[in-house]
């Protein structure tokens, strides 16, 4: 069948489940533009518009058929498909959704996707996969083809991720089937559940229960005399629309039922209510309220309800009486009062950013490199306040914030003590013992050194392995569901919301057993965790790395490669439009970059994804072959390869900031030597560098980094040492974000030549 003309921009497909309306006629902007730009005329009777989407603002697809018969067939067919899709059983809807997700990656319809594609897909739905090994262990090895995942495996993984936790819940009905080899729920079992647990009176009839199971499963191969559910199918039913508590006979609203007073109904007050009720938060003077009322009348016109519908009525009007009316809700005025003044609870304050004259992003010139960087500025009647360097692209800020904000339930995943699943089958215990023994023997780590791994015996639980008295011991960390949320515990009387909270507790409070009491001390880090990261390349030369980075013209693009020298790595990255390299050295259990030390290569990269590695450049875009296909350019940027006379040179990374303390002098001290510091009692000494031997270095009275006796001072918080700074931040609209301020009265305004251009 010919589909006629498509007037909208190219649309590759429309999901039937997302179609909200099929509207006959030319009621779309596509038709309006087509009629303006084209001399050809379209018969309005042959045109229709499909409205679809999942957001509040729907998309449209404008189509024109070639005849009346074709138009009728398309509209009727689409309406039937939409209705059939909506009423299809839940398992069928889930399978359709899974196939849509699967084939979005498997574009060649080969019925397989790679494990890497699967990992990326899971990350998009906020499911964190620690490594590729985790995925392979979740999938049945016997069916893997060259490391690829078939659709059947993909569907099984979905069921496993969705229902493994629920299967471990102590649900009495499900406990009956654990010992059965097939763990099936038969027709009689399901019938007893409907009768005993859900009080479904219709389920007394075996034929009705059988017919219900047939229609729910919608599988011709399962239409046998005694249908059955697998456990995951039963759990799907529990959360499905077929098991809703809502009485579907009430879906259709009878107009006669809308004639009662408004107080007889429950109204959802979120949005899209009927009748339309606007709740106004005025918090303003009577004069401003009159201005608001004038605007309401002008915009809403006759639709605005300004007087009672029926003066003689002794109750509220009915929904039918309020059709096509807009109500404005406000608090009830005091008895006998025509109006009420709104009191202002907070006086005017210049510290409130809402009272500022102007605020927004301006560029400030860096005095060191003379580059312009965005800052947030606030102009008040007396001062100009500005923040630390910010981003002019709010979207990027939100992405960074999202990446940095960890989910409480997954907080343990990024901890060095969490090793996930170790080995295959029962190998995890032996691997944990080997890791602990090697680590504690090599480093001399104390008793209480530990790691946490997935339990091999109890799915969903974890195992705590720790070092005590020269040998490794193991302890099960139990989990259970409470009000839909997982809880973790070693003993029943002390339960934690997260695994992270449990471990953190026993690092502070001793773990008590019959034989010993001991705190968890030093976490045992993962070995070679970097090898599964997308940014790591085990066999990549410097020239190959540069060739890859030349195709990504973005500062912050990076990769990590193994160097030929033993225990040596390099970070290759782009900064300021040039390709640069930093050496990283493995020294025992420590990774060293310049003067900065990290516990692992993963920790190093994680740190510099949040903090600048080279000047103002943070690591942003991990580069591998897959990302090159997505964001790489066809032509290499050869201009990025060389800088001056140092082709491909190695640079020094930014030094990590040293967090020096501030102290107050308890006694007066007079310097005995030229390299010592003199100070009076209660003097404040800044930037204190604590050295060994009882002598520290610090700044005071214009003297920098001179020696003084440590027993003459006491450590204080920086805020206590800087009352002026604290007072300034508290009295500014930017609070702790404040970097500086300028007194408006001392400013001289002048014009300067244009220094940069906006695109």
What angle is formed at CA 99 by the lines to CA 98 and CA 104, rounded to 5 degrees?
A: 105
pLDDT of residue 557: 92
Residues 6+ apart with CB under 8 A from 644: none
First to last CA, the chain: 48
Joined together, the tokens standing for residue 581 give 């390299």
Q: What mean pLDDT value characterizes the chain? A: 79
> Mind giving me the DSSP string for 315-337?
SPPPTTTTTT-EEEE-PPPPTT-
Residues 6+ apart with CB under 8 A from 501: 488
Q: How confident is the model over 578-592, as a mean pLDDT?
A: 86
Query: The whole model's pTM is what?
Result: 0.42
pLDDT band at 537 (very low <50, low <70, confident <90, very high): very high
> Mind giving me the DSSP string for 453-516?
EE-SSSTT-EEEEEEETTEEEEEEEEEEEETTEEEEEEETTEEESSHHHHHHHHHHS-EE-SS-
Joined together, the tokens standing for residue 51 give 């409205």
Residues 6+ apart with CB under 8 A from 389: 373, 374, 375
Most confident of the ranges 400-404, 514-518, 556-560: 556-560
Q: How confident is the model over 750-754, as a mean pLDDT?
A: 65
Residue 464 has pLDDT above 90, yes or no: yes
Task: Identify the sign of the CA torsion 369, 374, 375, 377.
Answer: positive
Residue scoring higher pLDDT (45 or 224): 45
Enumerate the H helices of 22-147 as residue ranges. Answer: 29-37, 68-87, 90-105, 115-124, 132-138
Angstrom CA distances, 258 to 251, 319, 321, 327, 444, stand at 14, 6, 9, 17, 79
Please give the Cα distance from 371 to 392 (Å, whole number). 15
pLDDT of residue 398: 41
Q: How confident is the model over 430-447, as a mean pLDDT?
A: 85
Residue scoring higher pLDDT (601 or 727): 601
Angstrom CA distances, 607 to 137, 536, 558, 612, 619, stand at 30, 16, 14, 9, 9
pLDDT tens for 595-646 read 787 878 888 998 898 888 988 788 988 999 888 888 888 788 887 876 544 5
Q: Where are the domains of the chain?
A: 5-87, 114-243, 255-329, 417-518, 529-640, 661-721
pLDDT of residue 156: 86
Percentage of residues in the chain with pLDDT exceeding 90?
18
Q: How confident is the model over 453-475, as a mean pLDDT?
A: 89
pLDDT of residue 144: 53
Percentage of residues in the chain with pLDDT exceeding 70?
77
Q: How confident is the model over 462-489, as a mean pLDDT?
A: 89
**What Rg, from alpha-carbon coordinates, does the chain have?**
35
pLDDT of residue 5: 44
Bridge partners (DSSP) of residue 681 are none
Q: How confident is the model over 151-155, as a mean pLDDT?
A: 88
pLDDT of residue 752: 65
pLDDT band at 276 (very low <50, low <70, confident <90, very high): confident
Pairing of strands 372-379, 536-537: unpaired
pLDDT of residue 50: 92
Q: How confident is the model over 565-572, as a mean pLDDT?
A: 92
Look-up: residue for tokens 């990255």?
Answer: 573
Would you mind telling me the total number of residues written for the chain in this entry?
Answer: 759
pLDDT tens for 639-673 read 787 654 454 468 888 776 655 678 889 889 988 88
Residues 6+ apart with CB under 8 A from 702: none
Most confident of the ranges 16-20, 109-113, 125-129, 687-691: 16-20
- Check residue 278 and report its DSSP letter: E
Residue 415 has pLDDT above 60, yes or no: yes
Domains 417-518 and 529-640 agree in fold? yes
Q: Which of 594-598, 720-724, 748-752 has the lowest mean pLDDT?
A: 720-724
pLDDT band at 395 (very low <50, low <70, confident <90, very high): very low
Please give the Cα distance from 392 to 376 (Å, whole number). 9
pLDDT band at 368 (very low <50, low <70, confident <90, very high): very low
pLDDT of residue 402: 41
The answer as to CATH 3.30.505.10 being correct for domain 417-518 is yes
Residue 522 has pLDDT above 80, yes or no: yes
* Burial category of 329 from C-beta neighbours within 10 Å (exposed 0-12, middle 13-18, buried 19 and up): exposed
CATH for 5-87? 2.30.29.30
pLDDT band at 131 (very low <50, low <70, confident <90, very high): low
Joined together, the tokens standing for residue 402 give 């999202």
Q: How confident is the model over 156-178, as a mean pLDDT?
A: 71
pLDDT tens for 300-329 read 999 999 888 888 888 889 888 888 889 887
Query: Per CATH, the architecture of 661-721 is what?
Result: Roll (2.30)
Please give the Cα distance from 450 to 418 (Å, whole number). 9
Task: Identify the sign of the CA torsion 144, 147, 150, 155.
Answer: positive
pLDDT of residue 405: 39
* Distance from the Cα of residue 48 to its chain's centroid: 39
Work out the number of other CB atoms within 10 angstroms of the CB of residue 188: 12
Minimal CA–CA distance to 558: which of 577, 540, 533, 535? 535
Residue 530 has pLDDT above 90, yes or no: no
Residue 545 has pLDDT above 50, yes or no: yes
Minimal CA–CA distance to 621: which of 571, 586, 584, 585? 571
pLDDT band at 177 (very low <50, low <70, confident <90, very high): low
The answer as to CATH 3.20.20.70 being correct for domain 529-640 is no
Q: How confident is the model over 213-241, as a mean pLDDT?
A: 86
Q: How confident is the model over 58-70, as a mean pLDDT?
A: 90
pLDDT tens for 252-266 read 777 777 888 888 887
């Amino acid at each position: 069948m010919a589909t006629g003309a498509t007037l909208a921009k190219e649309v590759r497909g429309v999901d039937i489940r997302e179609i909200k309306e099929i509207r006959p006629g030319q009621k779309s902007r596509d038709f309006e533009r087509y009629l303006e730009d084209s001399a050809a005329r379209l018969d309005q009777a042959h045109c229709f518009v499909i409205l679809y989407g999942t957001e509040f603002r729907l998309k449209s697809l404008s189509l024109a058929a070639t005849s009346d018969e074709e138009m009728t067939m398309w509209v009727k067919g689409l309406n039937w498909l939409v209705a059939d899709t909506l009423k299809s059983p839940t398992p069928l809807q889930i399978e359709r959704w899974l196939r849509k997700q699967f084939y979005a990656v498997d574009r060649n319809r080969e019925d397989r996707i790679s494990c890497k594609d699967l990992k990326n897909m899971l990350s998009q739905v906020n499911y964190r996969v620690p490594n590729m090994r985790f995925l392979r262990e979740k999938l049945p090895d016997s069916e893997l083809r060259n490391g690829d995942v078939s659709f059947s495996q993909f569907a099984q993984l979905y069921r496993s991720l969705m229902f493994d936790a629920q299967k471990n819940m102590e649900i009495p009905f499900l406990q009956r089937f654990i010992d059965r080899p097939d763990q099936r729920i038969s027709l009689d079992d399901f019938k007893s559940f409907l009768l005993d647990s859900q009080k479904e009176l219709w389920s007394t009839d075996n034929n009705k229960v059988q017919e219900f199971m047939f229609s729910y499963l919608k599988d011709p191969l399962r239409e046998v005399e005694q249908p059955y559910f697998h456990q995951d199918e039963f759990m799907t039913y529990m959360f499905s629309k077929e098991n809703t508590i809502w009485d579907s006979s009430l879906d259709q609203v009878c107009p006669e039922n809308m004639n009662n007073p408004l107080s007889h109904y429950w109204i959802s007050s979120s949005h899209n209510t009927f009748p339309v009720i606007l709740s106004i938060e005025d918090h303003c003077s009577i004069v401003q309220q009159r201005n608001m009322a004038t605007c309401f009348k002008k915009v809403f016109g006759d639709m605005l309800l300004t007087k009672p519908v029926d003066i003689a009525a002794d109750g509220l009007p009915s929904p039918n009486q309020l059709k096509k009316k807009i109500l404005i809700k406000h608090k009830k005025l005091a008895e006998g009062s025509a109006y009420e003044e709104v009191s202002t609870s907070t006086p005017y304050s210049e510290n409130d950013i809402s009272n500022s004259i102007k605020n927004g992003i301006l560029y400030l010139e860096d005095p060191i490199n003379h580059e312009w960087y965005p800052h947030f500025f606030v102009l008040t009647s007396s001062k100009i306040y500005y923040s630390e360097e910010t981003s002019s692209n709010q979207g990027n800020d939100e992405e960074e914030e999202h990446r940095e904000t960890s989910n409480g339930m997954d907080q343990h995943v990024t901890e060095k003590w969490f090793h996930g699943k170790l080995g295959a089958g029962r190998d995890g215990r032996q691997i944990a013992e080997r890791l602990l023994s090697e680590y504690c023997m090599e480093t001399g780590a104390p008793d209480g050194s530990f790691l946490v791994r997935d339990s091999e015996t109890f799915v969903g639980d974890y195992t705590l392995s720790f070092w005590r008295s020269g040998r490794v011991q193991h302890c099960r960390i139990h989990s259970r569901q409470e009000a839909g949320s997982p809880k973790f515990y070693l003993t029943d009387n002390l339960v934690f919301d997260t695994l992270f909270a449990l471990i953190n507790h026993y690092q502070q409070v001793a773990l008590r057993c019959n034989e010993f009491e001991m705190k968890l001390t030093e976490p045992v880090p993962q070995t070679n965790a970097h090898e599964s990261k997308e940014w790591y390349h085990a066999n990549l030369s410097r020239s190959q790395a540069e060739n890859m980075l030349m195709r990504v013209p973005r500062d912050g693009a990076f990769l990590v490669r193994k160097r030929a020298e033993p225990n040596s790595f390099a970070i290759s990255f782009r900064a300021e439009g040039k390709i640069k390299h930093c050496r990283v050295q493995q020294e025992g259990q420590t990774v060293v970059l310049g003067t900065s030390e990290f516990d692992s290569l993963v920790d190093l990269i994680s740190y510099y994804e949040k903090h600048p590695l080279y000047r103002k450049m943070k690591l942003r875009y991990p580069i591998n072959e897959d990302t090159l296909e997505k964001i790489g350019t066809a032509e290499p940027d050869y201009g990025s390869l060389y800088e001056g006379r140092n082709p491909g040179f190695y640079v020094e990374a930014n030094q990590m900031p040293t967090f020096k303390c501030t102290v107050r002098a308890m006694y007066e001290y007079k310097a005995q030597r030229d390299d010592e510091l003199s100070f009076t009692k209660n003097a404040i000494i800044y930037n204190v560098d604590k050295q060994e031997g009882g002598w520290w270095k610090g700044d005071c009275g214009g003297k920098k980094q001179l020696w003084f006796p440590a027993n003459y001072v006491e450590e204080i918080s920086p805020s206590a040492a800087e009352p002026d700074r604290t007072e300034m931040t508290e009295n500014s609209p930017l609070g702790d974000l404040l970097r500086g301020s300028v007194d408006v009265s001392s400013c001289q305004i002048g014009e300067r030549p244009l220094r940069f251009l906006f695109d």
